[in-house]
Amino acid sequence: MQSTSQTLELAYEGNTRSQSRRVIRCGMAILIATSLAACMVGPDYRKPEVQLPEGFKEGVDWQRAQANPQAAISSTWWRMYGDDKLNGLVEQALQANQSIVAAEAAYRVALATVESDRAGLFPIVTAGLSGARSGGNLAGLEGIGTNTSSPPSNSVVASGAVSWELDLWGQIRRQLQAAKANAQASDAQLAGERISIAAAVATDYFQLRQADVNIRMLKEQQDLYGRILAMTQTGFKEGFASGDDVLNAQENLQIVIADLQTTEISREQNEHAIAVLTGTPPESLSIAPDPNYQFVSPDVPAALPSQLLERRYDVVSAERTAAAANASIGVAEAAYFPTLTLSAEGGFAHNTFAHLFTLPSRFWTLGPDLAATLFDGGERTAAVHGARATYDEDVANYRNTVLTAFQSVEDSLSSMNHLRAQAGAFASVYDSSNRLFASQQAQFNAGATSEQNVLTQRLTLIQAEESLRDTQAQLAESNVLLVKNLGGGWQRDDASVASAPSAASMPSSLPATGAVAPPAAQPSAD
């Protein structure tokens, strides 16, 4: 049965703990409200103004021909070319390309930085438990004539501490804003890497198919020039041809043979490039030739200049970098003001563990810590000047990126406009050459012309076809470049970085929010 003193001690201890909890809860509520109501030094971010044209100079017909200029490019835009082999190569590259893997890892690093900076808004709580047994021999110490030993003693300490630096001037929140903006820039860079790799695969693939077509035609020309050379040599022996005719025929044959080697080199190198883009050793990838490949240049949905600010990954990345630099100004300016840290520590200390958690064994400390830098030789001022200069630099880079984006789209539109006209002209030439060849064949069958004239006209027809097919291939490649310059099916989305999975929880094989197809999600500003 407990004594009266023990009962009173327990009651006192219970009331004290209850009062302490109420005081702590009340104090925490006041401090949170004070911290949230605190101001943030530094300028609030406003998106830099840029001069936007109303339309594209080279895209009048392109925009007029589209019924829905707001239509978005498909996130799987490479499928619009209708080539299953191309589809497989692009999708393999998006999964295995090491540049994309590196960009995805960089994005996860940026997300981890956001989480780390967000943690600065909360208190740090620590706890510890320690025990020690000590003793000693005092023999030989000066002033002590006899050997004496201190009896061994024990100490046990259980303690906990809370430390909280209040974000009175918004330094941590500005730093968090900068981290979010940098993560958004990294997300856009990841999307840009994916678009660039997909476009590179498609471009190299079309160049490889162009080489396939050219190799077929060069081999046919080689056969025809060989037959013409044999006829010329026979004519020379019979006196119907001169030595110069033989030399010209030999030269034409050797030029075609040399062109064939150059084209085969190009094809092999394009195949090697595709292998690396798909994360495959060149030795392990072989793409079967398709000598009669048909190039397709599908319509690309029109876009307005203002849409490039949301669809172009490099523009979004540059704008987010400027936003991060703006927030860094506030971080630098907050260094002018004092910091307030609230700390509390408490626990129990005793020489035996059995009596450790008792009222007489407890200890505690509580108090604020206000610190300010009075003189630093101008270091803080220099930091602010540097932050403002960095922001001005990033704004200039953003505006230049916007101008470059307009230029690249104009270049693609100009190229496609002229290539379409060129393809139309070469189609007419090919049609005329085809009819002339048919006429020469009819005359040869009627005995009105020589076989060499028929072969010569056949060479002219092949060269006309080569010009047409080369232009069609260039048009397809220009089509890919236009898609890339328009943003490639990616568009900034106003999803928050805070909603993105943390780097620790994200599987390494799955790209981050801005990396998956369908279109990547681009986090918003704040």
Q: Are residues 358 and 471 in the same domain?
A: no
In a domain, 400, yes or no: yes
Within 10 A of 321 (CB to CB), how many other CB atoms are there?
A: 26
pLDDT at residue 38, rounded to an integer: 57
Residue 481 predicted with pLDDT over 80: yes
In 3D, which of 21, 26, 27, 25 has the Cα closest to residue 367?
A: 27
Instruction: Say which residues have a Cβ less than 8 Å from residue 515's Cβ, sequence separation at least 6.
Output: 100, 103, 104, 107, 187, 190, 191, 194
What is the number of domains present in the chain?
A: 2
Q: Are residues 297 and 348 in the same domain?
A: no
In a domain, 333, yes or no: yes
Residue 8 predicted with pLDDT over 60: no
pLDDT at residue 510, rounded to an integer: 31
Tokens standing for residue 202: 């498609």
Q: Are residues 349 and 461 in the same domain?
A: no
Distance set, CA 201 to CA 197, 206, 218, 278 (Å): 6, 9, 25, 8
pLDDT at residue 58, rounded to an integer: 79
Range 79-105 average pLDDT:
96
**What is the pLDDT of the chain when averaged over all its residues?**
84
Q: Is 143 left (phi over 0), alpha (psi -120 to 50) or beta?
A: left
pLDDT at residue 59, rounded to an integer: 72
375 three-class SS: coil
In a domain, 236, yes or no: no
In a domain, 309, yes or no: yes
User: Which of 252 and 27 is assigned the larger pLDDT?
Assistant: 252
pLDDT at residue 217, rounded to an integer: 97
Residue 519 predicted with pLDDT over 90: no
Q: Are residues 453 and 386 in the same domain?
A: yes
Q: Are residues 161 and 198 in the same domain?
A: no
In a domain, 27, yes or no: no
Distance separating alpha carbons of residues 224 and 232, to the nearest angstrom: 12
Contacts 24+ apart (CB under 8 A), 116-124: 116/179, 117/172, 117/175, 117/176, 117/179, 118/176, 118/498, 120/165, 120/167, 120/172, 120/175, 120/176, 121/167, 121/172, 121/173, 121/176, 122/164, 123/162, 123/163, 123/164, 124/162, 124/163, 124/164
Cis peptide before 518 (omega within 30 of 0): yes
Residues, the chain:
526
In which residue are the tokens 């075609």 written? 256
For 31-45, how does the pLDDT look when each residue is reduced to its tens digit (9 = 90+)?
A: 554 554 458 899 999
Q: Are residues 275 and 288 in the same domain?
A: yes
Cβ atoms of 413 and 482 closer than 8 Å: yes
In 3D, which of 102, 107, 101 has the Cα closest to residue 183?
A: 107
User: Which amino acid, one-letter code, is at 301?
Assistant: P
Q: Are residues 355 and 472 in the same domain?
A: no
Q: Reduce the secondary structure of 150-178 to three states and give it as a string.
A: EEEEEEEEEEEEEEEEECCCCHHHHHHHH
Distance separating alpha carbons of residues 437 and 434, to the nearest angstrom: 5
In the sheet where 339-350 sits, what is the strand order? 124-137, 149-166, 339-350, 362-371
In a domain, 464, yes or no: yes
Q: Are residues 363 and 388 in the same domain?
A: no
Cβ atoms of 55 and 304 closer than 8 Å: yes
For 220-271, how does the pLDDT look when each residue is reduced to its tens digit (9 = 90+)?
A: 999 999 999 999 999 999 988 899 999 999 999 999 999 999 999 999 999 9
Q: Are residues 281 and 349 in the same domain?
A: no
Q: Are residues 364 and 428 in the same domain?
A: no
In a domain, 250, yes or no: no
User: Which of 167 and 27 is assigned the larger pLDDT?
Assistant: 167
Q: How far is CA 156 from the centre of its chain?
A: 54
* Cross-strand partners of 164: 342
Q: Are residues 313 and 446 in the same domain?
A: yes
Q: Are residues 305 and 428 in the same domain?
A: yes
CATH code at position 327 = 1.20.1600.10
In a domain, 177, yes or no: yes
pLDDT at residue 310, rounded to an integer: 87
> Domain range for residue 56?
40-119+167-210+268-337+382-496
